[in-house]
């Protein structure tokens, strides 16, 4: 496998950060991205302390000019992007009659439009090399719209459709496009503080461990072309589906 860059857009404190750490441990340069780059420093320090290579970037994935500049900077100064993980979250629960046009549009921009911009720009580079992995992080809402999640479900379903279309178009060119369904609560400070009853299930394997999610993303990247996974669903054993 060629060394190169793992670009993780949406490298938050839980899942995104775990993904960046896993790819750095696998020998790739981890390029972690979030809107506020100052929040990336603890993650970068941790990766570097473990012997990995990491760089942080501030970028609003909804802004085309910022995404174009980000990909150009990474490719021209750090190396070829071998992996793109689009992990931007936009989970906001609002009754449909109380939803605003502004918030609905913003959620779509974050979860769907940003995925298109990042996927398009990285695909341009990967096509010249005829290789690469693109993973879009989805959710339960990618396949069904629950009450109160009209905006989130609409955006996540759009992201899933984007992933399917890109997989069919880019797969023959050597680019592995995958979509994940993360179905369940994740071990985060938000779940711990806001949903203590759910967090109490952690010791029973009742919530998702970010490091275990990241391990599955690494597996997607290392799959041989004759046995690619397009859609991977991850959920705790007790999560209904």
Distance CA 113, CA 108 (A): 6
Say what the pLDDT of residue 2 is: 47
Say what the pLDDT of residue 1 is: 42
- For residue 241, is it within any domain? no
Residue with tokens 């390029």: 31
- Whichever domain contains 85, its CATH number is 3.40.50.720
**Domain of 146, in residue numbers:** 5-234
- For residue 113, is it within any domain? yes
- For residue 45, is it within any domain? yes
Distance CA 71, CA 102 (A): 28
Closest CA to 141 of 74, 77, 233: 233
Domains: count for the chain: 1
- For residue 240, is it within any domain? no
Residues facing residue 231 across a β-bridge:
179
Buried b (16+ CB within 10 A) or exposed e, 5-36: bbbbbbbbbbbbbbbbbbbbebebbbbbbbee
Q: What is the pLDDT along the chain (241 residues), one digit of tens a residue?
A: 447 999 999 999 999 999 999 999 999 999 999 999 999 999 999 999 999 999 999 999 999 999 999 999 999 999 999 999 999 988 888 989 999 999 999 999 999 999 999 999 999 999 999 999 999 999 999 999 999 899 999 999 999 999 999 999 999 999 999 999 999 899 988 889 988 998 999 999 999 999 999 999 999 999 999 999 999 999 999 998 8
Distance CA 213, CA 202 (A): 15
- For residue 239, is it within any domain? no
- For residue 133, is it within any domain? yes
pLDDT in tens, 119-172: 999 999 999 999 999 999 999 999 999 998 999 999 999 999 999 999 999 999
């Amino acid at each position: 496998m060629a060394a190169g860059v793992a670009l993780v857009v949406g490298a938050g404190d839980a899942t995104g950060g775990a993904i960046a750490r896993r790819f750095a441990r696998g020998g790739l340069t981890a390029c972690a991205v979030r809107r506020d780059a100052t929040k990336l420093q603890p993650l970068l320090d941790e990766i570097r302390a473990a012997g990995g290579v990491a760089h942080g970037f501030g970028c609003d994935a909804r802004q085309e000019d910022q995404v174009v500049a980000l990909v150009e900077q990474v490719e021209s100064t750090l190396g070829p992007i071998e992996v793109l993980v689009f992990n931007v979250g936009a989970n906001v629960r609002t009754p449909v009659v109380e939803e605003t046009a502004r918030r609905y549009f913003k959620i779509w921009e974050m979860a769907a439009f940003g995925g298109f911009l990042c996927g398009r720009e990285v695909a341009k580079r990967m096509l010249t090399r005829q290789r690469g992995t693109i993973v879009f992080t989805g959710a339960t809402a990618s396949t069904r719209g629950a009450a109160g999640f009209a905006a989130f479900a609409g955006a996540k379903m759009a992201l899933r459709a984007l992933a399917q279309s890109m997989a069919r178009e880019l797969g023959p060119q050597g680019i592995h496009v995958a979509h994940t369904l993360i179905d369940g609560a994740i071990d985060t400070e938000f779940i711990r503080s806001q949903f203590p009853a759910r967090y109490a299930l952690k010791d029973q394997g009742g919530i998702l461990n970010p490091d275990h999610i990241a391990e599955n993303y690494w597996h997607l990247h290392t799959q041989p072309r004759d046995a690619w996974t397009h859609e991977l669903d991850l959920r705790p054993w007790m999560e209904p589906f």
